[in-house]
Amino acid sequence: MQHIHIDVTERELDFTEASRLAKAAARENRLLEPAIVSWHQHGSGRMSPSYDGANPSSWWVKYGEGNGGRLEVNVGDQYDFVLMDSRGYESVDALPVRNLTDDGNEYICFTLLLGEGCAPIDKACVPIDEWAANQC
């Protein structure tokens, strides 16, 4: 994976501004349609994706690399991003899926198979924890 560092020392950035800078750097490095796969905020330890027990210093980059990330962009000493080129992928907006929770467990479900119910069912849903466990 390629790495880029953007120097930002004069001010604190919010997520929106930092992600805009990361995407602009990605475009300059041949990612025509950059999409953020994962990210990490220094200091707060916030990251995405996140799960209980994840190591904030490494999980976000492992997830990003394992899910198509081609470029790591460090924005100052405040944010880290893993990006991919999303050309050729369908938009998530076009997918008929939704997240549901049942007894504290989270699922992603194919809405066309749910019928009229709002509870997760085996034929339509996959536990989100199974996906997170497979991201080494």
53 & 107 share domain:
no
- Rg over alpha carbons for the chain, rounded to the nearest Å, is 17
C-beta separation of 131 from 109 below 8 A: no
75 and 13 housed in the same domain: yes
Estimate the share of the chain in helix, then strand, then coil, as percent rounded to the nearest 5.
25, 30, 45
- What CATH number does residue 55 fall under? 3.30.1490.340
Residue that terminates a domain, selected from 45, 70, 85 = 85
Q: What is the predicted pLDDT for the residue at 116?
A: 73
In the chain (136 residues long), the average pLDDT of successive 10-residue segments reads: 89 90 94 93 87 85 92 94 86 72 82 77 78 43
Q: What is the pLDDT of residue 70?
A: 93
| Total structural domains within the chain | 2
pLDDT at 109: 83
pLDDT value of residue 37: 94
Task: Look at strands 34-41 and 79-85 and give their pairing.
Answer: antiparallel
Whether residue 13 is found in the same domain as residue 61: yes
Predicted model pTM: 0.66
The position carrying tokens 């490494």 is 58
Report how far residue 3's alpha carbon sits from residue 80's, in angstroms, rounded to the nearest whole number. Answer: 10
Judge if 77 and 99 occupy the same domain.
Answer: no
What pLDDT score does 134 carry? 42
List the domain range (segments joined by +) for residue 125: 92-133
Same domain flag for 75 and 105: no
Whether residue 15 sits in one domain with residue 49: yes
Residues 23, 52 within the same domain: yes
DSSP string, 51-93: -TT--TTTHHHHHHHHTT--EEEEETTTEEEEEEE-TTPPPGG
- Check whether residue 6 and residue 60 sit in a common domain: yes
Predicted local confidence at residue 136, as pLDDT: 36
| pLDDT computed for residue 72 by the predictor | 96
| Lateral strand order in the sheet of 34-41 | 2-6, 71-75, 79-85, 34-41, 47-48
Q: Are residues 81 and 96 in the same domain?
A: no
Per-residue pLDDT at 11: 80
